[in-house]
Amino acid sequence: MPNQPRLIELVQTLYETKDPAILDKVTGHDDFREFLRFHQLQVPLPDLVQAFTHTSFSHEFHLPHQEQLEFLGDSVLQLIITSELFRRFPQEKEGHLSKLRSSIVNERSLAHIATSLGLPRLVLVGRGEFKKKLYEHEALLADTLEALLGQIYQHQGFEFTRGLFLVWLSKFSPDAFAADALKGFDSKSMLQEAVLAKYKKLPRYTAESRGDKFEITLWINDEVRGRGVYPSKRTGEKELAQEALKKNLI
């Protein structure tokens, strides 16, 4: 479509006008069609758009949203990774496989893949959430990727969805199945063991809201050993634990 406004520009116009004709242009935008073509998806356009529609946009413009698709996609994703781990590590213990799966299927990892795929420019959020740049938040991007996988699974089946996600994983997180992949992910457990052995007490984390982010503080033996502002509590705790181990702050 020649000279078509960018999707983000149309969405901003839609916030101002509430014009149904603009809404039709948003949901029929060529950026969505190009995503379908590029990834060889056989998903009807309205169903693809639903996977990118946050509840805040749904409430404003009365479109189907992504929440149930997230639920489906999460299960599909768990099965994809579980079956791949089972294939790659037939002799590995269940506990290690479970940790390795969690290191792959976690908010930050999924958000990285979603960002690499260009999903932030396709996510539809409400006006207030747009101002806060919710479309860049890790939690929303992870949810959107799961919703997308759920919709692909519905229309093209498990094997296609599995193959497609493993291609994405290989391209954007090539070390996902590496032997040392757990080192960074399992930093909280490693720190906990080290602190418990030295001080006979666990490290603790406190969090204070800072707008749409959180200021996380790491306490070891009742002393502050790290502090920072992060998009989620989980991300902050993991990064502070990694930093404490790296710099030997115990």
- Backbone φ and ψ of 65, nearest 5°: -110, 180
The SS3 of residue 41 is coil
Nearest to 69, CA basis, from 125, 8, 148, 167: 148
Write down the catalytic residue from 70, 129, 146, 239. Answer: 146
Tell me how long the chain is. 250
Write down the catalytic residue from 74, 84, 186, 237. Answer: 74
The contacts found for 66-70 with CB under 8 angstroms, 24 or more apart, are 66/143, 66/144, 66/147, 67/147, 68/150, 69/146, 69/147, 69/148, 69/150, 69/151, 70/143, 70/146, 70/147, 70/150
The SS3 of residue 105 is coil
**222 has catalytic annotation:** no
Q: Alpha-carbon distance 184 to 21, whole Å?
A: 48
**193 has catalytic annotation:** no
Cβ neighbours for 46, distance < 8 A, ≥ 6 positions apart: 27, 64
Residue numbers annotated as active site: 74, 146
